[in-house]
Chain A
Amino acid sequence: MTHAISRKTYLFTFLGLLGLTLSTTLLGFVDMGPFNMIAAVGIAACKACLIAAFFMHALIEAKVIRVVLTGGVIWFLILISFTLSDYISRSW
């Protein structure tokens, strides 16, 4: 039986995740105002993509599974963006 994802890939993913964690922590020591949060969440999103793509095999799964995953993310973004747009645009 062949394996779509090799142990080497898992290892590189793992090291990448550790590296990104370290960069999150280090970046936190720099005061960037609101960009601290943006950077942290951005890095977290990268880490999530790595985990989903390689550890969870999302890249090589059937198309419908990628649709389910993107659907979930998009619906979460709908929830958050529509609600936040209310808070941002209030004049009171």
Chain B
Amino acid sequence: MSTAVETRPALNYLNQETGIRSWLFTLDHKRIGLLYVASITFFFFIGSFYALLMRLSLLEPNGWLFGPGTYNKLFSMHGIIMVWFFLIPSIPTTLGNFFIPMMIGAKDVAFPKLNLLSWYIFMVGGLTTLFAMIHGGVDTGWTFYTPFSTSYSTTWVTTAALGIFIAGFGSILTGLNFIATIHRMRAPGMTWFRLPVFIWSQYATSIILVLATPVLAITLLMIGVERIFQVGIFDPALGGDPVLFQHMFWFYSHPAVYIMILPAMAVISEIIPTFSRKPLFGYEFVVYASMMIAALGFLVWGHHMFVAGQSLYSALTFSFLSYLVAVPSAIKVFNWSATMYKGSVSWDTPMLYAIGFIGLFTVGGMTGLFLAAMGIDVHVTDTYFVVAHFHYIMVGGAVMGYLGGVHYFWPKITGKMYPEGLAKLSALIVFLGFNLTFFPQFILGYMGMPRRYAAYAPEFHTLNVMSTAGASILGIGYLLPLAYFIWAWKYGADAGPNPWRATGLEWQTSSPPPRDNFEETPVVTRPAYDFGGMKEELHLG
């Protein structure tokens, strides 16, 4: 291997070309990744703002800030923005875009123009939806359930759905690009079972993206057709069946949860070996678990419809299959824990997020089992128990994974270090704030507080105040990284090519990397996470 560059290289992908046009017309996967970082950060703070308003209003049982109409719009817009314009694209389009080619030793993704096109499509979709929200909002919830969304809602449903429809094609093209890249662009010697687990998880994610997103697209198209032409596809007046909408919607939206969580698992699988100085325990099991999650994720959508009027036999089948998803998820949790066992663990910020992820994901996953059990699900359907459960997966899982990943890869992306002490503090704030926000909601839900209401019974007051307090803390935990990352971009200390002494190919090139990622195409001779081999090399060198 060529000698690693010790200091920040004079010419890298960030300064090789300058000016706004060099960013807007870039075909460099790394720059496109950064474009996505900027875009989804923007959407994330919009979505968070809606959440903040909701939590503020719920400080009092009567919902002192907003009436029911406004509140309906707030939770709808929070959900739509967060799901489609932050969580779905979050890790794949940013860290995935940046690191998939680097980890497999390629110069770029398979289709760079398509990659840039995906970003434009995403932005057009995002801005269309934003336009709908500014103009009057949507009140259907992020699920667009019929017949409310088709026959009754007078808000900007069609425009918002159009935005999501457009953004969906960005997702599809991203997934397509990644699959082709991982299949065809690997460096010599990079066999399938030498791939880092990050790549495997992104691969599983991309498969879900290309198989599930088109079904969402066609479902939204049908909603649009129904609203625009006043014909009924899901309209009971013509014999249409609203439950069919739910089938089609959840065929996408349940796998979509795995689109959010698998990339977070990808990040965690990189962080834990690096900061435990040990190869990932049971590499192949983790790989197969990712693929199994992707496949099984498509067979469980009916557990969202236990009370929607699907047949009892279907419900039983879906319930059983939902339990099965716990198996690969648990395999992953066990393997991460086993990787840390007897490793020399260091407690840097990415590792704090990774460990937080494992804990919160486990809580989210276990409560998922409660919800997969029909008896309990019927009791807690549409209560805050469900809200808490999926926030443990989406925020406690996906967002923690994203933040951990951004911290872990930040030195490679920018060549600068972030302030470690402050970062550790904010990781702690995020963890505490998160739990204070959402744990009370489990109790609220179990006590019977329904979701999506602007007001609630007085006996739920204390727990709601706790939740709002937690949300404020969580907000600070999100603003802090934003501030110190902006600071570190300019003033951070030089990171050097491999500050974490990690093994992946991406760490063997300079930070920030050159335009073509590597000075010469790397040849891979060792499996992933080969810390032993690395030690040997350091010793010899």
Contact = CB atoms under 8 A, between A and B. Distances in A.
Whether A and B touch directly in their complex, counting CB atoms under 8 A apart, is answered as: yes
A89 B313 contact: yes
B247 A75 contact: no
B298 A75 contact: yes
Given A64-B183, A79-B251, A83-B244, A91 B299 contact: no
A29 interface: no
B310 A90 contact: yes
B317 to A, nearest CB: 8
Interface in A43-92: 64, 71-72, 75, 78-79, 82-83, 85-92
A92 B312 CA distance: 10
B299 A83 contact: no
Given A64-B183, A78-B298, A82-B299, A89 B311 contact: yes
Interface in B270-321: 298-299, 301-302, 309-314, 317
B247 A91 contact: no
A interface, over-half SS: helix
B298 A86 contact: no
B298 A91 contact: no
B185 interface: no
Contacts of A91: 311-312
A90 to B, nearest CB: 4
Interface string B243-280: 11001100100000000000000000000000000000
B244 to A, nearest CB: 7
B211 interface: yes
Given A64-B183, A86-B247, A86-B302, A79 B310 contact: no
Contact of A82 (B183, B302, B309): B302
A83 B298 CA distance: 12
Given A64-B183, A78-B298, A78-B299, A86 B215 contact: no
Given A86-B310, A86-B314, A79 B215 contact: yes
B278 to A, nearest CB: 33
A86 B309 CA distance: 10
B281 to A, nearest CB: 29
Contacts of A82: 299, 301-302, 314
A90 B298 contact: no
A90 B310 CA distance: 7
A45 to B, nearest CB: 20
Contacts of A90: 310-311
Contacts of A89: 311-314
B313 A83 contact: no
Contacts of B317: 85
Nearest to B183: A64
A82 B314 CA distance: 8
Contacts of B309: 92
A86 B211 contact: no
A86 B310 CA distance: 6
A89 B298 CA distance: 20
A33 B505 CA distance: 63
Contacts of B298: 75, 78
Contact of A75 (B211, B244, B311, B313): B211
A80 B126 CA distance: 31
Contacts of A79: 215, 251
A83 B247 contact: yes
Contacts of B211: 71-72, 75
B302 to A, nearest CB: 7
A90 B309 CA distance: 9
Name, among A71, A82, A85, the residue most crowded by chain B CB atoms within 10 Å (CB to CB).
A82
A27 to B, nearest CB: 28
Interface string B206-225: 00000100010000000000
Nearest to B315: A86
B294 to A, nearest CB: 11
Contacts of B215: 79
A85 B314 contact: yes
Contacts of B299: 78, 82
Interface in B456-471: none
A48 to B, nearest CB: 18
Nearest to A78: B298
Interface in B331-367: none
A78 B321 CA distance: 13
B328 to A, nearest CB: 18
Interface string B392-407: 0000000000000000
Nearest to B252: A79
B124 to A, nearest CB: 27
A90 B215 CA distance: 24
A75 B215 CA distance: 11
6 contacts: A75-B211, A78-B298, A85-B317, A86-B243, A89-B313, A92-B309
Given A82-B301, A85-B311, 10 more contacts: A75-B298, A78-B299, A82-B302, A82-B314, A83-B244, A83-B251, A86-B247, A86-B302, A88-B311, A89-B311
What 3 A-B pairs have minimum CB-CB distances, sorted nearest first? Answer: A86-B314, A90-B311, A89-B311
